[in-house]
Chains A and B, each alone.
Chain A
């Protein structure tokens, strides 16, 4: 049961090969033994996890067991969990214990899954390396000198290091796909609105989206089946029909048209990473897909557009942290103004403050039209580029990141270099499209991700292409030696 996929665990639990308590216990033991190396979890509540596993075993015995009954799943510490601390990687929420579950958590509980723990992340999901976490950086299980990526770096590290069979993440500009690529796992960002945002600490409300992170597309499909669906309590949640995301995994790729945007294969792309992506594309071609040259002409504008829109929305969302209702409050405030400014000055980390200030600037009187409105107009041009491509291709493919994982500390003092890590992922959020990162090889023992981008609400197609690729390759089955215990 160790190193089993979610699909195997579902089967093994149903066939009573092992109990949920046994599976959950084995993961808790591994976390206790190994997470000192990865720092992938912020909170683990062993007693609650075992109690949930015992309840799951009763349901399995009674034959009344929904799809994920007894499967332990880790959640990014951005999802509110009733009675369990939800820190969002920040000092501001270090003491925050929500009195309710996020809709995503509710849905996992309703489908029988066990909450294994809450994973490390960049503070308020702002970062691409996990280094902005108040709890210290998570580390990449392939090499603990490397970052796991971010912001869902703890989820990616936990899955890659087999400290969870699967995890949830959120993706505002690449925060599921980039760490999935860096850690050699599969991560899906669904279409904007496909998964409820209720109870997810808000960063940029027109970009945020939650999704699954697991070893395979097959497992991501199982998780998405639970996560996806309309939520009347999230006014931006889509009421477009969901489907069984597992049902089309095996469809053949004959005649599938895959667009390769030339802007994603240009000078900024590491040569060895490009080679991995090229081999992956050849594999898809050998299965009958047709590779088509396409262009996303506004690609160079995605980083500037994103770094207006995301900070502007963040500055609005994070105004709620005032030291009055919940979270951090400074000591001995002399007046209300002192309470606000010192609570926020002390409670937020450097990158979060920087983005709030940029956003406040972009939204302030006299600058709104030049920055925020301008960025919203360019955002439409960026989306239109994708829509034009989808007139002639079914999906778009390219690298997830410009290169493999970098060493801790190399970019943490250069915000703009860090922002450029997301150069291939940001546009997908701006356009609201689904995107998936799939393991596609290694550069000097560091994993590389292939990114596939689909039409709105075509998650099943992305999962189908990713699954067919994984049927023919074994990159997603590789594990770091550390995790398999071979070095011990």
Chain B
């Protein structure tokens, strides 16, 4: 299958990854190669095969809804790029 460059641009936008104009052609052709390689799956008959999300078909463990961790906000904020008064700073979102 052929992937158009504008489709890769759309995917990159969904993934929030800036790709420069000089790179986009190369990125498109590499991803096209990979998608062509994985196309081999389309020929497999998978009727009535249950999709497998976990190799042991395990389900999530449940535990009592109790607080087990202490609040370490200061430690986590100490490694953030930009914080003020306990808040994470980002560029202005609302005018």
> Which residues does A use to contact B, with CB under 8 Å?
96-99, 191-193, 206-207, 232, 235-239, 300-301, 303-305, 307-308, 315, 319, 322-327, 329, 333-342, 344-346, 348, 353-354, 356-358, 360-361, 364, 370-371, 373-381, 383, 415-416, 419, 429-433, 456
- Tell me the complex Cα distance, A335–B18, Å: 14
Could you tell me if A235 and B41 are in contact, using CB atoms closer than 8 angstroms?
Answer: no
Tell me the minimal C-beta distance from A324 to chain B in angstroms: 5
Determine the distance from Cα of A377 to Cα of B51 in the docked complex, in whole angstroms: 4
**CB-defined contacts of A301 to chain B, threshold 8 Å:** 40-41, 44
Alpha-carbon distance A357/B76, docked complex (angstroms)? 29
Contact B16 A375 (CB under 8 A): no
Distance between B71 CB and nearest chain A CB, rounded to angstroms = 12
Query: Could you say which residues of chain B place their CB within 8 Å of the CB of A456?
Result: 56
Q: How far is the CA of A322 from the CA of B46 in the complex (A)?
A: 37
Contact with A along B24-68 (1 / 0, CB 8 A): 000100110111011111101010011111111010110100000
Decide yes or no whether B82 CB sits under 8 A from chain A: yes
User: Contacts A301-B40, A308-B41, A364-B14: A96 and B79 contacting too (C-beta < 8 A)?
Assistant: yes
Q: How far is the CB of A95 from chain B (nearest CB, A)?
A: 8
Chain A proximity of B63: nearest CB distance (Å):
7
Taking a contact as CB atoms under 8 Å apart, the answer to whether A357 and B55 are in contact is: no
- Least CB distance, A322 to chain B, in whole angstroms: 8
Is the Cβ of B55 less than 8 Å from the Cβ of A383? yes
User: B42 to A370, Cβ gap below 8 A?
Assistant: yes
Residues of A within 8 A of B46 (CB): 374, 377-378, 381
CA separation between A354 and B31, bound complex, in Å?
7
Contact across chains for A325 and B35 when beta carbons are under 8 A apart:
no
Q: A325 vs B81: C-alpha distance in the bound complex, in angstroms? A: 7
Which of A192, A373, A419 is in CB contact (< 8 Å) with B51?
Answer: A373
Query: B34 contacts A415, CB within 8 Å?
Result: yes
In the complex, 5 of the A-B residue pairs with CB atoms within 8 angstroms, ordered by the A residue number, are A193-B58, A353-B27, A358-B31, A374-B44, A378-B44
Instruction: Return chain A residues, CB-CB under 8 Å to B37.
Output: 303-304, 307, 416, 419
The answer to whether B38 and A371 touch across the interface, beta carbons within 8 angstroms, is yes
Q: Are A325 and B15 in contact (CB under 8 A)?
A: no
Closest chain B residue to A308 by CB distance? B38
Contacts of B35 in A (CB 8 A): 358, 361
CB neighbours of A337 from chain B (8 A) = 16
Residues of A within 8 A of B50 (CB): 377, 380
Complex contacts, B30 vs chain A, CB 8 Å: 354, 415
> Which has the most chain B C-beta neighbours within 10 Å: A357, A419, A430?
A357
Known: A300-B40, A336-B93. 16 other contacts (CB 8 A): A99-B78, A192-B56, A207-B55, A236-B58, A237-B61, A301-B44, A303-B37, A324-B90, A338-B91, A357-B8, A358-B31, A374-B41, A376-B51, A377-B46, A379-B55, A383-B55
Collect the chain A residues with CB atoms within 8 Å of residue B60's CB: 235-236
Give bound CA distance, A342 to B49, whole Å: 41
Residue of A nearest to B78 (CB): A99
B56 contacts which of A336, A338, A375, A432 (Cβ < 8 Å)? A432
**Are A344 and B40 in contact, with the CB atoms below 8 A?**
no
Find out whether the CB atom of A206 lies under 8 angstroms from the CB atom of B91.
no
The 6 A-B pairs of least Cβ separation, nearest first, read A432-B55, A345-B18, A376-B51, A377-B46, A329-B81, A99-B75
Least CB distance, B1 to chain A, in whole angstroms:
10
Q: Which residue of A is nearest B81, CB measured?
A: A329
Asked whether any CB of chain A lies closer than 8 Å to the CB of B72, the reply is: yes
With A99-B75, A339-B90, A356-B15 known to touch, is A324 a contact of B80 (CB < 8 Å)?
A: yes
Q: Select B55's contact among A192, A307, A335, A374, beta carbons within 8 Å.
A: A192
Q: Give the CA-CA distance A339 to B18 in the complex, in Å.
A: 10
Q: Is the CB of B34 within 8 A of A238?
A: no
Query: Which of A338, A381, A456 is packed against the most chain B CB atoms within 10 Å?
Result: A381
Task: Report the bound CA distance from A431 to B12 in whole Å.
Answer: 31
The complex places the Cα of A433 from the Cα of B15 at a distance, in Å, of 32
A348 contact from B13, B17, B38, B40, Cβ within 8 A: B17
B92 sits at the interface (CB 8 A): yes
Contacts of A431 in B (CB 8 A): 55
Give A97 to B75 CA distance when docked, in angstroms: 10
CB-nearest residue of chain A to B43 = A301
B91: which of A339, A357, A375, A378 is its contact (CB, 8 Å)? A339
Contacts of A381 in B (CB 8 A): 44, 46, 49
* Of B27, B56, B90, B92, most A-chain CB atoms within 10 Å: B56
Q: With the chains together, A323 CA to B18 CA distance in Å?
A: 14
Bound CA–CA A338/B78 (angstroms): 24
Q: Which residue of B lies closest to A372 (CB)?
A: B51
CA distance A413 to B8 in the complex (A): 20
Q: Are A356 and B55 in contact (CB under 8 A)?
A: no
Q: Find the B residue at minimum CB distance from A209.
A: B55
| Residue in chain B with minimal CB distance to A321 | B16
A379 contacts across to B, CB distance below 8 A: 51-52, 55
Which A residues are CB-close (under 8 A) to B18? 341-342, 344-346
Contact call B56/A360, Cβ cutoff below 8 A:
no
